[in-house]
Structures are given as C-alpha cells and as structure tokens.
Amino acid sequence: MRTDDIKKAVALKYDPSSMNAPEVVAKGVGKVAERIIEMARKHGIPVEERPDLVDDLLRLELFSEIPEEMYMVIAEIYAFLKRYDK
C-alpha cells in the first residue's frame, strides 16, 4: 500500500464565545482516521479533504489551539462550512 493511500484525519472544534482559536479534538491515521471520518458523517458534520493541511494539523497536540500561521487556511475552511451549513 502506498503511504498516500493511508487515511489521515483531524477534527477541529471552535466556539468563538469561549476559545481564541480552533483546537484539535481528535486526530489519527489508518483505522483511527477512518473512524473519525465515519463519526463525523454519522453526525452530519461536513468533511473537508485537504491533504495539504492534514499533515500539519497532525503534528499538533490534542486539545491545543491551532497556531496563528494556520489561521487563514482554517478560516477558509470555516467559510466553506458556513456556506455548506446554509
């Protein structure tokens, strides 16, 4: 199996009333990633595929906020999700 065939996933949470920035609430590769994606879809949470971003997010610690240098790309994803939600 090629390494680019291995599933990777990171789940973010953001509550602007109590958080400064989105935080990593789940992350994994392989079966764990598949489960994260499955649970998101089961609960109607949109899944955005961004292979260019997931590797950077996987390096972050669980429950840590995303770093400032990632704000713009995360903001683009949240804008996409807002459009999706409507």
For a pLDDT cut of 70, what percent of the chain falls above it? 92
CB 47 within 8 A of CB 34: no
CATH number reported for the structural domain that contains residue 18 in this entry: 3.40.1690.10
How many domains, the chain? 1
Which DSSP letter does residue 53 get? H
**Whether the predicted pLDDT of 2 surpasses 70:** no
What is d(CA 57, CA 8) in angstroms, rounded to the nearest whole number?
Answer: 10
Segments forming the whole domain that contains residue 79: 3-85
pLDDT tens per residue across span 41-63: 999 888 888 888 999 999 999 99
What pTM value is reported for the model? 0.83
